[in-house]
Amino acid sequence: MKSIPLKWWILGLLSPPLVWADLYTKVLVSRRMYPYESVEVVPGFFNLLYARNRGAAFSLFHDLDPAWSLYFFIGVTLVAACVLVYLFRSIRGRHATLLAVTVTLIASGAVGNFVDRARLGHVIDFLDVYVGTHHWPTFNLADCYISIGAALLVLYSFFLEPRERKEAEAA
């Protein structure tokens, strides 16, 4: 019997609770707050703010015609899913665990936001970070997963992968 590679265990064990946490927090916000209601949590730094985002990250493309936006975002999600499947299947080497976690974070965030978009026609955002009057665009847990995964992927691409390639060439 062939053993299951660690990367598949990471995906199978990490992704469901991440997606669940994202969707659960969005349901809590939508049931306990009114749209665009704000609750101060850390004065001068952090609020809960129930926002409905029809666009992508940071409200990009929010002004697309609603008749087409769902198709646009489904298309973007399908392309991203294909890229993520390719990346995940090609994971090997010394940093396979890091890459599996990275791709799992990005995929989990994409699934969480996709479920919202397919179910509601928009994504529920509720985390509002700010300093004074300067607010970061409101986001959710799925956006956190995607951002952390993307940052890890960038760090890997700039620091670990070139070193891995040099070591492979030297061997």
| pLDDT tens column, 51-72 | 998 866 555 566 666 667 777 8
Q: Kindly write down the DSSP assignment for every residue of the chain, as one continuous string.
A: -PPPPHHHHHHHHHHHHHHHHHHHHHHHHHHHS-TT-EEEEETTTEEEEEEEE-SSGGGTTTTS-HHHHHHHHHHHHHHHHHHHHHHHHT--STTHHHHHHHHHHHHHHHHHHHHHHHHHSSEEEEEEEEETTEEPPPB-HHHHHHHHHHHHHHHIIIIIHHHHHHHHHH-
> Would you kindly state where each structural domain of the chain is located, as residue ranges?
6-55+65-170
> Which residues make beta-bridge pairs with 51?
125
Structure confidence at residue 127 (pLDDT)? 97
Residues, the chain = 171
* pLDDT tens, residue by residue, 83-123: 988 988 888 888 899 999 999 999 999 999 999 988 998 89
* Best CA proximity match to 25, nearest among 116, 103, 101: 116
How high is the mean pLDDT of the chain? 89
Structure confidence at residue 66 (pLDDT)? 65
The strand order across the sheet containing 38-42 reads 38-42, 46-53, 123-131, 134-135
Catalytically active residues, by annotation:
125, 143
Lowest mean pLDDT among 55-64, 142-151, 160-169: 55-64
Structure confidence at residue 64 (pLDDT)? 65
Alpha carbon separation from 8 to 64, 74, 99 (Å, rounded)? 37, 25, 12
% of residues, the chain, pLDDT over 70: 91
Residues 6+ apart with CB under 8 A from 138: 49, 51, 53, 125, 126, 127, 128
Structure confidence at residue 164 (pLDDT)? 75
The pTM score is 0.87
| Mean pLDDT to the nearest integer, 131-139 | 92
